[in-house]
């Protein structure tokens, strides 16, 4: 059950990013495997969101298991700042972002 809660938190943060960038027609895929889980969130936007490469860098921050117990508390805030995406990066193992107008796609993977 704990992995499902982590997936929910990650999806919530990604949705916040999509909403704050006015990305519409959002679709979410979630797949649990023996290795971990995959999330894909896709939406429509005419122009690539600003600072998308910076977001990718933040999401690809190396995962830090030593402070994982603090993630839920830190990500629980209702007001989101850029450092929230850094914290999100600490929760996941891999992230990919692609934009092929108008489709914006984010894929993340978290190992068990």
The answer to whether residue 85 scores a pLDDT higher than 90 is: no
pLDDT of residue 88: 81
Q: Can you give the residue range of the structural domain that contains 30?
A: 2-111
Residues 32, 83: Cα–Cα separation, whole Å: 27
Domain count for the chain, please give it: 1
Strand partners, 36: 33, 111
User: For the chain, what percent of residues have pLDDT higher than 90?
Assistant: 61
The answer to whether residue 79 scores a pLDDT higher than 60 is: no
What is the per-residue pLDDT across 10-65, written as a single tens digit (0 to 9) for each?
999 899 999 999 999 999 999 999 999 999 999 999 999 988 999 999 899 888 77
pLDDT of residue 78: 47
């Amino acid at each position: 059950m704990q992995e499902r809660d982590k997936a929910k938190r990650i999806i919530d943060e990604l949705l916040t990013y999509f909403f704050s960038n006015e990305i519409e027609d959002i679709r979410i895929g979630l797949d649990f495997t023996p290795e971990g889980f995959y999330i894909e969130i896709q939406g429509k936007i005419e122009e690539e969101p600003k600072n998308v490469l910076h977001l990718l860098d933040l999401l690809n921050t190396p995962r830090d298991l030593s402070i994982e117990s603090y993630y839920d508390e830190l990500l629980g805030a209702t007001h989101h700042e850029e450092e929230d995406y850094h914290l999100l990066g600490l929760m996941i193992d891999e992230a990919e972002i692609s934009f092929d107008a108008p489709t914006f796609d984010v894929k993340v993977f978290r190992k068990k």
